[in-house]
């Protein structure tokens, strides 16, 4: 400003009367205050959006990432739903598919480093051995396949899909909705279930959905046979239902059993996690056990949910 501090210059601020100097000095702060009042008034009159959903929203959960696997343990039973798959048409309810989680080799080894598991394996082999060593000896090609993975992606599950019983990655088996429950069995029973599941690998898919034979299997039959109780083998009581004149087990019925037993002391399962989704907004988020329980009555087609 011209001659700001020189009173000898008649054009300078210092040469002006006190009143004018005060007005000049106050002009900037007053303008800023008035501008703030105007802007906030406009904002409040227009309305400020407030969050209506307090849940943490995960826009994408990468399959095979720690976020997807963090809480899973070998032997967990997973459920998957892929929207708009034609196979959903012929399957009842919201959950069409069940999967057996076996985990990473490191998680697998740590989980079954257990005295009861080792004692059981010794009765089978006559020597001290680990579950990994036992499976490598009993199913060498399948075990090598599991340890190797596919196209740089690690295998994590065994499932029944077309064309048969296969090892798969989390990315390969994951869907638009995912959930997991944990059998309340000891490590020995889960080791026995996984041994049984490895024995069914490479069998063809059972298009007849016939649980009376085991030459071909569907996804829930793999779960049912792997966890079926036997002499010296604790397991799960998974009642079959009659559909089309045959005994079978829809994935939804396992979830219904979980819901029916929920909260009782001798329940067969514990809740692990539920990845829910909103199709219209293309959001996936970690949901609650209470919401998972409600899925037994969810509409079969997800467009009816939003």
The residue ranges of every structural domain in the chain are 1-50, 66-304
Query: pLDDT tens per residue, the chain (306 residues)?
Result: 555 555 666 666 566 676 666 666 666 676 777 766 766 555 445 444 444 444 444 445 544 455 667 889 999 999 999 876 555 555 667 999 999 999 998 898 999 999 999 999 999 999 999 999 999 999 999 999 999 998 889 999 999 998 899 999 999 998 889 999 999 999 999 999 999 999 999 999 998 888 999 999 999 999 999 999 999 999 999 999 998 888 999 999 999 999 999 999 999 999 999 999 877 767 788 999 999 999 999 987 655 555
CA–CA separation, 40 and 49 (whole Å): 14
C-alpha Rg value of the chain to the nearest Å: 31
Cα separations in angstroms, 285 against 53, 54, 84, 179, 279: 11, 11, 20, 12, 11
In this prediction the pTM is 0.77
Domain at 66-304: CATH code: 3.90.1720.10
Three-class secondary structure of residue 149 per DSSP = coil
* Angle subtended at Cα 205 by Cα 203 and Cα 208, rounded to the nearest 5 degrees: 125
Instruction: Specify whether the CB–CB gap between 290 and 61 falls below 8 A.
Output: no
Provide the token pair at 237: 């009581």
Instruction: Specify the DSSP class assigned to residue 175.
Output: -
Strands annotated E in the chain = 77-81, 97-101, 157-161, 164-168, 177-183, 241-243, 246-248, 269-278, 283-286
Instruction: Specify whether the CB–CB gap between 267 and 107 falls below 8 A.
Output: no
Task: Name the residue among 120, 128, 142, 103 with its Cα closest to residue 192.
Answer: 120
- 160 bridge partner residues: 165
What pLDDT, on a 0 to 100 scale, did the predictor assign at position 47?
Answer: 47
- What separation, in Å, do the N-terminal and C-terminal C-alpha atoms of the chain show? 63
Provide the token pair at 93: 């309810």
CA–CA separation, 270 and 266 (whole Å): 11
Three-class secondary structure of residue 246 per DSSP = strand
For the CA atoms of 19, 25, 26, 30, what is the dihedral angle to 10 degrees?
150
CA–CA separation, 255 and 222 (whole Å): 16
Instruction: Specify whether the CB–CB gap between 97 and 81 falls below 8 A.
Output: yes
Instruction: Specify whether the CB–CB gap between 276 and 177 falls below 8 A.
Output: yes
CA–CA separation, 69 and 50 (whole Å): 33
């Amino acid at each position: 400003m011209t001659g700001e501090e020189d009173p000898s210059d008649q054009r300078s601020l210092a040469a002006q009367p006190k009143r004018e100097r005060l007005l000049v000095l106050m002009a900037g702060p007053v303008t800023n205050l008035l501008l703030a009042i105007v802007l906030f008034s406009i904002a409040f009159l227009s309305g400020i959006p407030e969050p209506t959903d307090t849940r943490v929203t995960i826009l994408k959960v990468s399959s095979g990432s720690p976020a997807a696997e963090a809480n899973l343990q070998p032997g967990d039973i997973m459920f998957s739903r892929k929207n708009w798959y034609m196979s959903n048409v012929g399957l009842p309810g919201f959950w069409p598919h069940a999967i057996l989680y076996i985990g990473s080799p490191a998680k697998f080894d740590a989980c079954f480093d257990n005295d009861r598991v080792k004692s059981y394996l010794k009765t089978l082999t006559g020597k001290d051995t680990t579950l990994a060593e036992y499976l490598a000896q009993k199913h060498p090609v399948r075990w090598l396949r599991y340890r190797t993975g596919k196209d740089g992606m690690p295998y994590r599950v065994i499932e029944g899909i077309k064309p048969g019983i296969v090892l798969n990655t989390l990315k390969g088996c994951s869907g638009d909705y995912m959930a997991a429950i944990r059998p309340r069995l000891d490590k020995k029973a889960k080791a026995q279930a996984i041994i049984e599941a490895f024995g069914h690998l490479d069998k063809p898919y059972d298009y007849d959905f016939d649980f009376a034979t085991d030459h071909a299997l569907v996804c829930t039959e793999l779960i049912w046979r792997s966890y079926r109780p036997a002499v010296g083998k604790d397991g799960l009581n998974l009642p079959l239902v009659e559909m089309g004149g045959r005994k079978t087990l829809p994935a939804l019925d396992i979830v219904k059993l979980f819901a029916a037993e929920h909260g009782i002391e001798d329940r067969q399962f514990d809740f692990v996690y539920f990845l829910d989704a909103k199709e219209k907004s293309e959001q996936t988020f970690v949901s609650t056990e209470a919401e998972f329980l409600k899925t037994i009555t969810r509409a079969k087609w997800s467009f009816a949910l939003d």
